[in-house]
Copies of this chain bind each other. A is one copy, B any other.
Amino acid sequence: MNRKVTGSPTLLLDVEKCKRNINLMASKAKRHGLIFRPHFKTHQSLEIGQWFKAEGVSKITVSSLVMAEYFASEWDDITVAFPVNILEIDRINSLANRITLNLLVENTESVTFLAKHLHFRVNLFLKIDVGYHRTGIDPGNLDLIEEILQLIESSPFLRFSGFLAHAGHTYRFRNAIGIEMIHRLSLAMMRQLKEYFSSRFPGLIISLGDTPSCSLAENFTDLDEIRPGNFVFYDLTQHAMGSNSVSTIAVAMECPIVSIHKDRGELIIYGGGVHFSKDRLDFENGFHFGRVVEKKPQGWGDPISGMYVTALSQEHGKVAVPSELIGQFKIGDTLLILPVHSCMTANAMKGYLTLEGKWIKRCY
């Protein structure tokens, strides 16, 4: 590693691992004839976006209009994978004037509002609830779907693109079989909608694509588009679900050791909830907020057995250390820690420091 230690919590990025993750997902999409529209809410960085362009990606997904505005300087086809927020109509119009803007709707109120207030054309996806029960229309609710489609058809500024879903309930599983089952069920539902509506809307597409399904599944028959995001970095949650091997995790937080308590087998680090976020992962002894990995000349290696972040305050973290290892650490050393949820951790930080010592900014 050519970089200097910054001295405060820093999110390190292994560019090689990250580019490999991008390449593998792009290749998988190509192999299955899928449009690859990656979700950029995980990295939120124009520079990392360029690595996707190098793989031929030209369409992206984001989770807010703020993010869409940030990426619109370099991307001209953006899906905002969040139900239309009618209070942001000015932002929607401004973006729709500049780029191909794809929005999600799931109720008549928003579509009626858009039809009345849009000055530029937008593409609409109907958000379908395939079982996650966060947002979306029940796929069997043909009355509501029909009502929304008629509203869309009667507006010159609205174009129906197809059906979109997020099978976020894959995250409740800790095994490939459960995730594969959710993926197959979701795809089956979306396929029925496609078959039902495609004679009336010949160009409609169906879009799915959480990271666990896209990482593990091999059956994408009739699917048109995938939108995974987390895979760009992966994390310990994905690893616990079986989406990836731990060696593919492309980010690690570097944290200084500020206190050592041998009597209770604990290191205290500079690195807290404001850096990691408070997402946690269940494990044998309760839950943890991250795992310490071995330092290597070229980055990092495997997690060190028994070394977990067991608590986070605003700026402090507590790290459990097996008694036979604690003598190896001293005040002023740093630890490298894999995050539980890389999207939230990346969002908490201002950018990334590559192993070569280069800063990569993110939108904030």
Contact = CB atoms under 8 A, between A and B. Distances in A.
Given A107-B259, A107-B260, A268 B83 contact: yes
Nearest to A63: B315
A209 interface: no
Contacts of A260: 107
A139 to B, nearest CB: 14
A24 B133 CA distance: 45
Contacts of A83: 258-259, 268
A316 interface: yes
Nearest to A347: B274
A107 to B, nearest CB: 6
A82 interface: yes
A87 B259 contact: no
Q: How many copies does the complex hold?
A: 2
A144 to B, nearest CB: 12
B5 A87 contact: yes
Given A273-B344, A330-B109, A332-B87, A316 B135 contact: yes
A41 B314 contact: yes
A-side binding surface: helix, strand, loop or mixed? mixed
Interface residues of A, number: 52
Contact of A332 (B86, B268, B279): B86
A264 to B, nearest CB: 7
A347 B348 CA distance: 9
Contacts of A53: none
Given A87-B7, A258-B83, A331-B86, A264 B314 contact: no
27 contacts: A8-B64, A8-B85, A41-B314, A64-B315, A82-B315, A82-B316, A83-B258, A85-B258, A85-B270, A86-B331, A87-B332, A88-B256, A107-B259, A109-B330, A109-B331, A110-B331, A134-B311, A134-B313, A134-B318, A135-B268, A273-B277, A273-B279, A277-B277, A278-B279, A278-B344, A314-B343, A314-B344
Interface of A: 5, 7-8, 41, 63-66, 82-88, 91, 106-107, 109-110, 113, 133-135, 168, 256, 258-261, 264, 268, 270, 273-274, 277-279, 311, 313-316, 318, 330-332, 334, 343-344, 347-348
